[in-house]
Structure 1
Amino acid sequence: MQVSIEATTALERRMTIGVPAERIEKEVDKRLQQTARRVKVPGFRPGKVPMTVVRQRYEDSARQEVLGDVIQSSFYEAVVQEKLNPAGAPSVEPKVFEKGKDLEYIATFEVFPEIDVAGFETIEVERLQSDVADADLDKMLDVLRKQNISYVDADRAAQNDDQVVIDFVGKKDGEAFAGGSAKGTQLVLGSGRMIPGFEDGLVGAKAGEERVLNLSFPEEYHNKDLAGQAVEFTVTVTKVQAPQLPELNEEFFAQFGISEGGEAGFREEVRKNMQRELKQAIKTKVKNQVMDGLLAANAIEVPKAAIESEVNRLRQQAVQQFGGGLKADQLPAELFEEQAKRRVSLGLIVAEVVKKFDLKPDEARVKAMIEELAGAYQEPEQVVSWYYKNDQQMNEVRSVVLEEQVVDTVLEKAKVTDKQVSYEEAVKAAGAEQE
């Protein structure tokens, strides 16, 4: 087999491959002999069809199958021989496909770039230091209570944070419009669910009262027929309900799976969850800074084929997450290209760090991570056992641990400064995780 290579760009390769005719003909003969043993031809017993008849009827199709298989296998042999790392399937251009002549074709494809990761010492990382203070815990308990708020009938005028039960009819130019009417709607005043002015117009209303609200839809409203239009809502308040926070009692604790220890036990469990969240938030922010630094210090050209593949994967994820009857190919590729390029680039750089420093998942860290994950559940022992019986989940944990070891390796040489901050600032989202 003859192979010649031309580099057309930094990553694109144009490889000419020649396969001896003898290899093609031997494979064609082999296929025809297999066909002769099973083919049924009128006038001949099974397995007794003359080879001349088999060849006449089936040689063309057998040759096409052989050519396809030989191109696939010879391309693989060629890239192994030339020590190339293709980033995607090749584009094949035939040169000589004639019977009796050597097969010759051109395969054009991209290769992954060669990377020598460096520049760790130029990376700057701000590592946050924080803890869960009692005031943070008290604030979290208030949040949990508000998330489980209930409403009780109140014999008074409605005020912000109250829930009102209303019937309403919306009209534009004296005619009711689609989607503008409802009965028995529960609305918390001040929640911002309705268009500007609607909720404010019900402050002070009592049960049984009717109010007419003259309002306008926002200019940027999603329904273009109503955007910027003046409308009139006739609203009847049937109930005014005051918010009631749940007590910190056994019934409330049971909603979170806490059946023992009373308020002290509940507070301790919430504190543990907050500490887990805090640890993960700090770890994520450090990781993002390290990854940003690796990208800045190691600018690489990324194969288009790898970006396209990642774009398609992100499209599929978006469809699974948001659904709505969309198909992946209906989502514009441009929406995902920047994120895809970042992911592919980081994947290549991180893999090279792993290779350069001969990193392998630390099984002690793997065990610790599984136990930490299991600690968030009521029966952690069962969760740990489930992980160790599930190869896919174990591999995912090992992958996360290996990535953490990459971050640690970079931090050993990077410029790291520690900064003491509040719990709120530490857990505040720094935007969606980019990787």
Structure 2
Amino acid sequence: MKAELIKKEGNVVNFKLTIDNDKFEAAINKAYNKNKGRFNIAGFRKGKAPRSIIENNYGKGVFYEEAIDIVFPEVYPSALDELNLAPIDRPSIDVEEISKDNGLVLVVEVEVQPEFELGQYKGIEVAKVDYNVTEEEVDAKLKELQERASRLVDSDKEIENGDTANIDFEGFKDDVAFEGGKAEGHNLVIGSGSFIPGFEDQLIGKKAGEEVDVNVTFPADYHAEELAGAPVVFKVKINGVKVKELPELNDEFAQDTTEFDTLAELRADVKAKAEEEAAAKAKGEERNAVVDAVVANTEIEVPETMVNAQIDNSIMELNYSLQYQGFSIEQLLEMTGKSMQELRDEKKEDAEKSVKASLVIDAIAKAENVEVTEEEVQAEVAKMAEAYNMTLDQIKEALKPSDLEDIKGQLRIRKTIDFLVENAVIA
């Protein structure tokens, strides 16, 4: 195999790829063996006709396309290495020649990563970030623990914000019940904002056993067109009211809900963990500030192909997240009144920043010879096994080679950022 650069215009490279005749012949034979069962040749059982007979009947090049599909992926990576190219899109291929003397000669066109000069990336100055944990913040975290230990108890009092009302309801528009507007035994937390604006407010002051007409107007941008902006009436029956009962914050609370014997010990532990979180947050912001400053120092014309690929990934992740919640991207677009193109346009700026950062970090990693060892990859795999509560053998079996490459790539990025932070001035 031989690769020869023809020309480079901007980020588009053309090169000639020559594959010797023996290798191409082997690929043709593979194509023949894979496809010979498709041909019906008089005098031969199906799939038994020799390659030469099939070529005589259908043309010498009958297996060329399949053979190229077989051989090209085998030699393309080596050609990229030989020419030191980093493609960002799929290549296009033109056949220039097929002969016994020269073998298979292809002209390949592919878009590659842009070339650019790195700006300053050592000695970057960023402001130190400090987060002081206040007693009020500790109180708030203890309040969260108290809320988690709360329980709902039945009450005959009037409904207030924060109470949970168990209700039956049915909605009517112009005295006609509408689809999707009816439920029985629904638990509604008053003040949660989970119902149409104004609905929950009209239940405040009511008690279990009461029935009330709730008059509301659907938002103008409501996803159901027939209800958007429409005034409706919900006939509501209040089956019961539950109020949140909070345990008292004292030594007994600490003993019952944690491993500590006193509230003072629990408070000290909550504060220590909050300080750890604050320190980690500050460190993360400092690292981001260093990366942002380094990226800002480098001028790059970010390829549209890479930006679009990043937007595709972002939308795919959004779709996965929505599906986990029982929604789809189509429902999101319908509810927000946006088109897919508008959603893509919204994500473009962040995508451009992400692509630029990845290009700069990769260039610095190459310039500084940042490498990831097999031991570092295996150590990361061991951490993943612990995090997912799996054995090392289980997670190794679950990981594909591409997953290990992704892990290696992430470690390389992390080590490169570590290098930038170590060489930055943070004060």
TM-score for both structures, normalised by structure 2 = 0.73
Whether the 8 Å contact between 1:157 and 1:206 is mirrored in structure 2 is yes
Aligned in 2, Cα 1:213/1:76: closer, same or farther, shift over 3 Å? closer
2:218 maps to 217
User: Which consecutive unaligned segments of at least 5 residues does structure 1 have?
Assistant: 418-435
**Deviation at residue 44 of structure 1 after TM alignment:** 9.2
2:333 maps to none
* Whole-angstrom distance in 2 between the partners of 1:177 and 1:124: 62
Whether the 8 Å contact between 1:151 and 1:244 is mirrored in structure 2 is yes
For 1:342, give the aligned amino acid: K
Whether the 8 Å contact between 2:255 and 2:262 is mirrored in structure 1 is no
SS in 1 for 2:321: helix
For 2:287, give the aligned amino acid: K
**Deviation at residue 81 of structure 1 after TM alignment:** 3.6
2:4 maps to 3
Whether the 8 Å contact between 2:169 and 2:234 is mirrored in structure 1 is yes
Whether the 8 Å contact between 2:167 and 2:238 is mirrored in structure 1 is yes
1:177 maps to 178
Aligned in 2, Cα 1:175/1:95: closer, same or farther, shift over 3 Å? same
CA-to-aligned-CA distance 1:205-261 (integer Å, 9 cap, x gap): 2222222233222223332222221122232223233321134479966897x4454
SS in 1 for 2:129: strand
In the alignment, structure 1 residue 349 sits paired with structure 2 residue 360? yes
Aligned in 2, Cα 1:68/1:351: closer, same or farther, shift over 3 Å? same
**Aligned runs of 1:283-302 on 2, under 5 Å?**
283-302=283-302
CA-to-aligned-CA distance 1:6-46 (integer Å, 9 cap, x gap): 122x21112244567x55786579769999xx99999899x
1:86 maps to 87
SS in 2 for 1:157: coil
Whether the 8 Å contact between 2:251 and 2:261 is mirrored in structure 1 is no
* Whole-angstrom distance in 2 between the partners of 1:196 and 1:415: 51
Aligned in 2, Cα 1:15/1:155: closer, same or farther, shift over 3 Å? same
* Whole-angstrom distance in 2 between the partners of 1:149 and 1:26: 75
**Deviation at residue 282 of structure 1 after TM alignment:** 1.7
SS in 1 for 2:113: coil
**Aligned runs of 1:12-411 on 2, under 5 Å?**
12-17=12-17, 23=22, 27=26, 53=53, 56=56, 60-72=61-73, 75-97=76-98, 103-120=104-121, 125-248=126-249, 258-259=258-259, 261-323=261-323, 324=327, 334=345, 336-359=347-370, 403-411=413-421
Query: Relative contact order, CA 8 A, sep 6+: which one is greater?
Result: 1
User: Which consecutive unaligned segments of at least 5 residues does structure 2 have?
Assistant: 331-338
TM-score for both structures, normalised by structure 1 = 0.72
* Whole-angstrom distance in 2 between the partners of 1:173 and 1:389: 59
**Deviation at residue 138 of structure 1 after TM alignment:** 1.7
For 1:170, give the aligned amino acid: G
Aligned in 2, Cα 1:354/1:184: closer, same or farther, shift over 3 Å? same
Aligned residues between the structures: 406
Q: Give % identity.
A: 26
* Whole-angstrom distance in 1 between the partners of 2:230 and 2:57: 75
For 1:11, give the aligned amino acid: N
For 2:283, give the aligned amino acid: K
* Whole-angstrom distance in 1 between the partners of 2:252 and 2:213: 42
**Deviation at residue 283 of structure 1 after TM alignment:** 2.5
CA-to-aligned-CA distance 1:353-400 (integer Å, 9 cap, x gap): 22333445699999999999999x9xxxx9798599869799988766
SS in 2 for 1:186: strand
* Whole-angstrom distance in 1 between the partners of 2:226 and 2:238: 28
Whether the 8 Å contact between 2:310 and 2:355 is mirrored in structure 1 is yes
CA-to-aligned-CA distance 1:43-71 (integer Å, 9 cap, x gap): 899xx998865764695444444444455
For 2:130, give the aligned amino acid: Q
Whether the 8 Å contact between 1:116 and 1:352 is mirrored in structure 2 is no
2:334 maps to none
CA RMSD of the aligned region, Å?
4.9
CA-to-aligned-CA distance 1:310-331 (integer Å, 9 cap, x gap): 444434433332224669xx96
Aligned in 2, Cα 1:229/1:123: closer, same or farther, shift over 3 Å? farther
For 2:197, give the aligned amino acid: P
Whether the 8 Å contact between 1:212 and 1:233 is mirrored in structure 2 is yes
Aligned in 2, Cα 1:206/1:133: closer, same or farther, shift over 3 Å? same
* Whole-angstrom distance in 2 between the partners of 1:414 and 1:136: 31
**Deviation at residue 348 of structure 1 after TM alignment:** 2.2
2:336 maps to none
**Deviation at residue 264 of structure 1 after TM alignment:** 4.6
